[in-house]
Amino acid sequence: MATLSEIRAALALAHPTLTGRAEGLDVILPDEERATLLDEWAQAAYDKQQAEAAAAALADAEAALAAESATRDDLARQQKRIDDEVESFKAKRQGFDQKLYGGTVSNPRELQDLQDEIDALGRRITQLEDEELEVMEQVEPVEAKVAELTATVDQRRAVLADAETRLTVAEAELAAEVEAEEAVRAEAATPVPAELLAEYERLRAGRGGIGVAKLTGTQCGGCHLGLSAVEVAAFRKLPDGEYGHCEECGRILVP
């Protein structure tokens, strides 16, 4: 799992204009605001990742719990089946007992047969009770595992709820930040002539988010290439309020 700083680094690459590389060249959205946005962005991305990891961990625990519960239920059914069988044999044996001691049968051969049946049933019941003990021994560790997994599921549910809360907060903060930026931007854009604004937008979209560059010496702050002496001289002579373009990258150039 990526750490917060790794996500920040990845975002910095994905959104180079948000890292402060533009050094105040983009007049409409100051870099400081962008840095804050980047931070918020990274936090929200990190929180989203945490929430997704928590959800996956919870799903794993729930699946394990379901499997273990199914094993437990299966063992309970086995136990019930053996119980029922024992009960039916005991009822049968009681019937033979009553017949044996009830005085209605006097034939020694028949009496012996009854005794044999009673003995056979007794052996079968003992056998079944042994089987039941074995099942009960298997139930114990499964019950313990079910209890353990139930606790894990509860704990992971709490972790997920916590991660979701943090994500909601981070997203709300980001949304508020973006909204504030949009207001700042709208205010900054108001005095800009529509034609210039349209050009700026077009340049900005096509040039990595930077539409305006500052000329420092003979270097364009947008593409960092040097301009020719003729170009620079012409630029310096521009009357107030006029603007030029970098001959290399085409960005609007300001002094």
CB 24 to Zn ion: min, Å: 16
Can you tell me which of 46, 149, 170, 222 binds Zn ion, judged by CB under 5 A?
Answer: 222
- The structure tokens 């364009």 sit at 220
In the complex, minimum distance from the CB of residue 56 to Zn ion, in angstroms, rounded to a whole number: 46
Number of residues that bind Zn ion (CB under 5 A): 6
Does residue number 203 form part of the binding site for Zn ion (CB under 5 A)? no
Q: Is 244 in the site for Zn ion (CB under 5 A)?
A: no
Residue 100 is a binding residue for Zn ion (CB under 5 A): no
Minimal distance in Å, beta carbon 248 to Zn ion? 4
Structure tokens belonging to residue 168 = 């909601």
SS3 220: strand
223 binds Zn ion (CB under 5 A): yes
- Report whether 146 contacts 68 (CB < 8 A): yes
**Residue 140 neighbours by CB distance under 10 Å:** 10
Nearer to Zn ion, 153 or 227 (CB): 227
User: Distance between CA atoms of 62 and 54, rounded to whole angstroms?
Assistant: 12
Q: Is 248 in the site for Zn ion (CB under 5 A)?
A: yes
Q: Which of the stretches 75-83, 111-119, 128-136, 242-250 binds Zn ion when contact is defined by CB under 5 A?
A: 242-250
- Does position 249 interact with Zn ion (CB under 5 A)? The reply is yes
Taking the complex as a whole, the smallest distance from the CB of residue 230 to Zn ion amounts, in Å, to: 16
Is 45 a binding residue for Zn ion by CB under 5 A? The answer is: no
Phi/psi-derived region of residue 145, left when phi > 0, alpha when psi is between -120 and 50, beta in every other case: alpha
CB of 227 closer than 8 Å to CB of 203 = no
Q: Burial of 29 by CB count in 10 Å (0-12 exposed, 13-18 middle, 19+ buried)?
A: buried
Residue numbers at the binding site for Zn ion (CB under 5 A): 220, 222-223, 246, 248-249
